[in-house]
Amino acid sequence: TEINLPEIRDVLVSLAFEAGRMILNANPSATAADTKLNAVDIVTETDKAVETLISTKLTSLYPSFSFIGEETYVKGQTTVTDSPTFIVDPIDGTQNFVHGFPHACVSLGFTLGKAPSVGVVYNPFLDIIYTAVKGQGAYMQRNASSPVNPGEKQRLPLNGGKGKLNQLKNSLVAFEGGSQRDGENFEIKMKAFRNLLSAEKGMVGGFRSLGSSALNICGVAAGQLDLYWEGGCYAWDVAAGWCILEEAGGKMYGGNRGVWEPELDSRKYLCVRGSPENEGQEEIVEEFWGLLEGDM
């Protein structure tokens, strides 16, 4: 049977609202959170409960599809395959969530043959949703869950985009420190931050580290950010955003030099906003890579 992508989007949107209500009703505490990789890589009871809600619904509606979730991922065992797959992060931005910083989201992706084909990213604190279906454009909606006064769906990039991508200078760049805080990967990031900010090299307009990969990607898709560089997140952080980004005319490159076509689980990404006829996209990527002092 044929897979109905708009129907999957609609299912994911209503699940995102349900998950959003759970997130808003939770009362997380930073101290009660469990840790994964280290003290900053945390997971709360809410992350687990939201993932259970989502996986239960999706596996009962689509029993033949695969499901990958952040909290049920098994290192070395869970891999992204060609089969129809839901790739889910119940709460992207868990540090923000436990601190009450209103920048966290539910990230619901769907892939076919490893290609991001549906993306739904919902920030319940701001009630903003981003959605995309492959081949059908990307949208953002404010007051998204309001039954009385939902906002209009705005096509991404907002206002038709920001035009040609110029040089790195003055561009607005998102990055995340990630949970790995030592080793070579960490050193390369620190050197890159210096090069990007410095007057004689990148002189970027600003660096933003807001704590949610999925929302960073949506910011690039919307044209509010020019670039987002990441060296350590996972498929569930990017699967939904990737579809939204591409449908908004943006493109995902690799976080390391020379990686023009990253995979879903490459873990290192550089996403670039759309521009008319993709003008300047590859140039700005090469300029960015040129400031890296090694591979992560």
DSSP 273: -
Site for ligand IPD contains 246 (CB under 6 A)? no
Q: Which of 47, 51, 71, 92 is catalytic?
A: 92
Q: Which residue among 94, 111, 230, 246 is the active-site one?
A: 94
Query: Does 109 sit near ligand IPD (CB under 6 A)?
Result: no
Q: How many residues of this chain interact with ligand IPD, rule: CB under 6 A?
A: 15
- Interface characters, 252-291, with ligand IPD (x: CB under 6 A): ----------------------------------------
Q: Is residue 184 annotated as a catalytic residue, yes or no?
A: no
Q: Which stretch binds ligand IPD (CB under 6 A): 129-137, 159-167, 207-215, 282-290?
A: 207-215
Annotation marks residue 91 as catalytic:
yes
CA distance 258 to 20: 38
In angstroms, the CA 69 to CA 56 distance is: 12
Is residue 88 part of the contact set for ligand IPD (CB under 6 A)?
no
Could you tell me whether strands 251-254 and 268-272 are parallel, antiparallel, or unpaired per DSSP bridges?
A: antiparallel
- Quick one: which of 69, 116, 211, 255 contacts ligand IPD (CB under 6 A)? 211
Cα angle 161, 194, 232; round to 5: 70
CB of 215 to ligand IPD, least distance (A): 8
Tell me the three-class secondary structure of 68-103, residue by residue.
EEHHHCCCCCCCCCCCCEEEEEEEECHHHHHHCCCC
Six-digit token string for 143: 């007051």
Cα 35 to Cα 82: distance, rounded to the nearest angstrom: 31
Q: How far is CA 72 from the centre of its chain?
A: 19
Catalytic annotation on 265? no
Residue 123 within binding range of ligand IPD, rule CB under 6 A: no
Q: What gap in Å lies between CA 69 and CA 61, rounded to an integer?
A: 16
Residue 232 makes contact with ligand IPD by CB under 6 A: yes
Shortest Cβ distance from residue 177 to ligand IPD (Å)?
7
Cα dihedral 93, 197, 277, 253 sign: negative
Among candidate residues 47, 51, 70, 226, the one labeled active-site is 70
Q: What does the alpha-carbon distance between residue 48 and residue 197 come to, in Å, rounded to a whole number? A: 38
| Residue 23 host element (H or E) | helix 5-25
Should residue 178 be labelled a site residue for ligand IPD when binding is judged by CB under 6 A? yes
What interhelical angle do 213-222 and 235-247 show, nearest 10?
A: 10
Residue 233 interacts with ligand IPD (CB under 6 A): yes or no: yes
State which of residues 195, 212, 275, 281 lies at the interface with ligand IPD (CB under 6 A).
212
Among candidates 5, 110, 132, 19, which has minimal Cα distance to 66?
110
Give the CB-nearest residue to ligand IPD: 176
Is 92 one of the binding residues for ligand IPD (CB under 6 A)?
Answer: yes
Applying CB under 6 A, does 51 fall inside the site for ligand IPD? no
Least distance between ligand IPD and beta carbon 40 (Å)? 9
Q: How far is the CB of 266 from ligand IPD (least distance, A)?
A: 13
Find the binding residues for ligand IPD in span 148-177 (CB under 6 A). Answer: 176
What are the catalytic residues? 70, 89, 91-92, 94, 237
**Applying CB under 6 A, which residues contact ligand IPD?**
70, 89, 91-94, 176, 178-179, 211-213, 232-233, 237
